């Protein structure tokens, strides 16, 4: 019979035997050896109910390699509906994981000894045992855990504490963010009569944007300047408390010499702060100079370059 002392593999873990089957879920695996032969690194059970929540069992038959485990079976309990729970949720649960000794009809059980149970929350959906049982002990037929290539696992879960942390937010920065460009051609510029004209909406980093131009200026630029802004095209569609951190450049393209006239800024865009730009983007006098090339044959070309570097969402 293989060694079943388990040594001190998992601190704070109680190992015992029970002749009572697990009350919440049982997983029977037939032809267990085929899991390894078919390169299945882990097996995830279907959902089961316990303590008012849905759970799953996750079994690594050759050990959890992401944690460097190769000589044990690893086994974990996972809360199955974490993404649908209220913001800021946290659950503490006491649980036992089972393995049937088919020779003696008793179960090996592993349980954490922490009185308050183990924590589950949005950043930690899984808990369990990296070293549930040594491979050698599991495969030794004298121990009864693998008989005729069949084994039986199980779980009991008791929720002992539930709470909501409260309001919060999560900022996700974007590595190697992509820049998006959009060019807007304005014909018959001198004939613009509207106070503000908008470009067609364009997409950048899964959000819709548009350029706003005030040919006769806005605010401090009224009468002497062109005012120009970048704005979210559909700010009302942002989730509550969401913010988008974007670096952007607005350019009026020089159609003669390629000495483009531009402004550059960084801004947190949100539902309540959807627009950023310059009331004094360029003076009428400079804009209308024929040698500058910003207005050629009454055509103006405006370019927006947008790079989203981070997004904040409410928890």
**234: three-class secondary structure by DSSP:** coil
Share of the chain above pLDDT 90, in %: 77
* CA distance linking residue 27 with residue 46, whole number of Å: 9
Q: What is the pLDDT of residue 308?
A: 97
pLDDT digits (tens, 9 = 90+) for 84-140: 777 678 889 999 999 999 999 999 999 987 767 888 888 888 999 999 999 999 999
Closest C-alpha among 218, 282, 214, 220 to residue 254: 282
With 90 as the cut, is the pLDDT of residue 39 above it?
no
Between the CA of residue 309 and those of 134, 177, 232, 237, 267, what are the distances in Å? 46, 6, 15, 20, 10
For residues 22-28, give the mean pLDDT. Answer: 95
Q: Which residues contact 4 (CB under 8 A, 6 or more apart)?
A: 137, 143
pLDDT digits (tens, 9 = 90+) for 255-297: 999 999 999 999 999 999 999 999 999 999 999 999 999 999 9
227, 252 contact by CB (below 8 A): no
For residues 180-193, give the mean pLDDT. Answer: 97
Helix (H) or strand (E) holding 305: strand 300-314
Q: DSSP label at 13?
A: E
pTM recorded for the entire structure: 0.57
Ordered structural domains, the chain, with CATH: 13-164 (2.60.210.10), 170-314 (2.60.210.10)
With 60 as the cut, is the pLDDT of residue 4 above it?
no
What average pLDDT does the chain have?
91
For residues 295-300, give the mean pLDDT. Answer: 98
Q: What is the pLDDT of residue 87?
A: 66
With 70 as the cut, is the pLDDT of residue 166 above it?
no
Q: DSSP label at 70?
A: -
Q: Which of 90-99, 155-164, 245-254 has the lowest mean pLDDT?
A: 155-164
């Amino acid at each position: 019979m293989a060694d079943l002392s388990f040594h001190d593999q998992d601190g704070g873990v109680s190992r015992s035997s029970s002749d009572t089957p697990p009350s919440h879920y049982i997983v029977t695996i037939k032809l267990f050896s085929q899991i390894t032969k078919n390169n299945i690194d882990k097996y995830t059970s279907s959902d089961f109910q316990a303590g008012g929540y849905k759970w799953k069992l996750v079994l690594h038959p050759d050990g959890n390699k992401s944690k460097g485990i190769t000589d044990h079976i690893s086994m974990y309990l996972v809360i199955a509906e974490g993404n649908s729970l209220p913001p800021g949720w946290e659950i503490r649960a006491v649980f036992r994981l089972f393995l049937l000794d088919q020779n003696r009809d008793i179960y090996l059980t592993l349980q954490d000894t922490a009185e308050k149970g183990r924590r589950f929350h949005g950043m930690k959906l899984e808990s369990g045992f990296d070293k549930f049982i040594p491979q050698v002990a599991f495969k030794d037929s004298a121990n009864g855990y693998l008989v005729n290539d069949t084994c039986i696992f199980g779980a009991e879960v008791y929720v002992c504490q539930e709470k909501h942390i409260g309001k919060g937010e999560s900022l996700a920065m974007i590595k190697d963010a992509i820049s998006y460009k959009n060019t807007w051609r304005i014909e018959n510029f001198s004939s613009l009569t509207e106070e503000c004209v908008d470009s067609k909406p364009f997409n950048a980093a899964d959000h819709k944007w548009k350029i706003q131009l005030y040919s006769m200026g806005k605010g401090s630029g009224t009468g002497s300047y062109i005012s120009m802004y970048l704005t979210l095209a559909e700010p009302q569609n942002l989730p509550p408390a969401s913010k988008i951190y974007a670096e952007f450049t607005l350019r009026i393209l020089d159609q003669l010499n390629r000495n483009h006239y531009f402004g550059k800024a960084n801004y947190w865009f949100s539902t309540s702060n959807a627009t950023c730009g310059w009331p004094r983007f360029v003076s009428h006098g400079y804009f209308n100079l024929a040698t500058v090339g910003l207005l050629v044959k009454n055509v103006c070309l405006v370019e927006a370059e947008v790079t989203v570097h981070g997004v904040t969402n409410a928890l």
